[in-house]
Structure 1
Amino acid sequence: MASIVSSERSTFIPSAAQQEELEAFSRFLENAPSAANRGPAKLVSQTGEVRELPAPLYRILVEIVDALSAGRGVSVMPNEQQMTTQQAADFLAMSRPSLVKLLESGDIPFIKVGRHRRVKLSDLVAYESRLTEVRRELLDSMSQEGFASGHYFQVPTQGRSSE
């Protein structure tokens, strides 16, 4: 079976001429009746063949259309795509020097191509997931400590005017 998806990144930036059509399609998706009790969305090919659209794919489609209708470009890339350190830093919304520290400390795997570091998208996503989990655990721990000490539901009095 021939693949219609490239193994490289594909970027689409809407033109001004496409903007109106994208905005109309975004409104269509936004105003569509809830899918509850109606079954999955369907996709109709140019030949008339109808296929059910899996819910995760439908959610991705909605996100893509929303971004494009807002005039933002969208990139689609395979999970194993290698990125430069600047691209990886941009993905994680941090500076390149901060990313390089994470790479050199072993927090995020990388390979070297000549003198240049390359990072897989899947490794960046895994790092984000680990970071989210650590933050969640810390917040849970802080909440439990506050509850155990009896201060969890107390409203601070500092800064309040006396009545």
Structure 2
Amino acid sequence: MMTRTTASRKIDKLARHAVPAVLSFDDRQMAAQLSDLLLGAAGGPGRLCLARGDGYSIALSPALVSVLETVAEMVTGGASVTVLPSHTELTTQEAADTLNVSRQYLVRLIDRGDLPSHKVGAHRRVRAEDLAAYRHRRDQARREALDVLAADAQDAGGYDAPMNFGPRRR
């Protein structure tokens, strides 16, 4: 059995070398089946159990089922997934890569105060949980802006206008 300290060190070591797995089409299909299984477990009265061939099994908590369901849905959709502990500290380049923005833009976010960071020597570090919170806020603002644009287009009759493709003919 692993102690909490040993487990934390192992997680930290794995997090430093986290590389997104390249998953095949077959993997994506299995992830879809896993997602269906997990959705059934979340909505049903029974608990989900994980068992090995040697008979050892454990019952998964609803929170863990939810995490696995989220990962399975992402993989099914073709997304690459990297799992990091929330206390992991990322370099500005790693954080920028996670947000799919340039490092310079990420530094501007930090300088503006949109994204918390701290310095280790002369280098900035961003905690994974702060990055996830920023991404959630950013995505929520984008969804709200898109909803406003769609409502404005609907109110203006933009969806009722005839569609014309290509140049006008005279």
Unaligned runs of 5+ in 2: none
Equivalences for 1:13-28 in 2 at 5 Å? none
TM-score by length of 2: 0.66
- Alignment root-mean-square deviation, CA: 4.0
Larger helix proportion of the pair: 2
Deviations 1:78-125 (A, max 9, x none): 112111111111111111111111111111111112211111111111
- Equivalent position to 1:116, from 119, 123, 136: 123
Other structure's SS at 1:112 match: strand
Write the distance in 2 (CA, Å) between the matches of 1:104 and 1:33: 40
User: 2:148 aligned with 1:141, yes or no?
Assistant: yes
1:59 maps to a residue whose letter is E
**Structure 2 partner of 1:58:** 68
Unaligned runs of 5+ in 1: none
Q: What's the % identity of the aligned pairs?
A: 30
- Equivalent position to 2:85, from 55, 78, 89: 78
Other structure's SS at 1:119 match: strand
Other structure's SS at 1:83 match: strand
Note closer, same or farther for the CA distance 1:107–1:82 as it changes in structure 2 (3 Å cut). Answer: same
Write the distance in 1 (CA, Å) between the matches of 2:154 and 2:25: 48
Other structure's SS at 1:104 match: helix
Write the distance in 2 (CA, Å) between the matches of 1:32 and 1:91: 25
Write the distance in 1 (CA, Å) between the matches of 2:25 and 2:151: 46
Write the distance in 2 (CA, Å) between the matches of 1:23 and 1:56: 23
Residues paired across the two proteins, number = 152
